[in-house]
């Protein structure tokens, strides 16, 4: 599967952005999805994950209550709605897909668990 992330940009602190990730192919519903980010000079970190059937969602503590992940299996997309953005949210954001045939309820928070990655979209939050 190929992933294409979009929606990044420059926003002031306190603002909002919505990231989208579109997947190619006809088996999007077979994949658990996640968002990760990497800030300059830092390691990649987990942001949010969603199971195939959207029944299970998890967020990093740093974004909980500010970010919301969702997916539309009919449109092959996963989105990340980001609100109350802070300068420390500045990073390249990546979407990732993990083939999850065991259960539609599984979700994954480790980068090494994912099989496919998008190219990343830059989010810059100014203070």
* The predicted structure's pLDDT at residue 100: 85
**How many residues are present in the chain?**
127
Residue of 111, 102, 108, 110 lying closest to 33 (CA atoms): 108
* pLDDT tens figures, 55-78: 999 999 999 999 999 999 999 999
CA distances from 55 to 13, 36, 70, 94, 101 (A): 31, 20, 10, 22, 15
Residue 54 token pair: 């959207």
Ranges under pLDDT 50 in the chain? none
* The predicted structure's pLDDT at residue 101: 80
Cα separation, 46 vs 120, in Å, equals 14
CA distances from 118 to 24, 25, 84, 103, 127 (A): 11, 14, 25, 23, 28
Residue 72 token pair: 């539309």
């Amino acid at each position: 599967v190929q992933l294409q992330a979009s929606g990044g940009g420059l926003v002031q602190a306190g603002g909002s952005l919505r990231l989208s990730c579109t997947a190619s192919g006809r088996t999007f519903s077979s994949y658990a999805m996640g968002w990760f980010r990497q800030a300059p000079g830092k390691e990649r970190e987990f942001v949010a994950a969603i199971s195939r059937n959207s029944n299970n969602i998890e967020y990093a503590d740093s974004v909980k209550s500010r970010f919301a992940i969702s997916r539309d299996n009919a449109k092959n997309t996963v989105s990340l709605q980001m609100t109350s953005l802070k300068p420390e949210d500045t990073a390249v954001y990546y979407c990732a897909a993990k083939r999850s045939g065991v259960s539609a309820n599984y979700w994954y928070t480790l980068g090494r668990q994912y099989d496919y990655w998008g190219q990343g979209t830059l989010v810059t939050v100014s203070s």
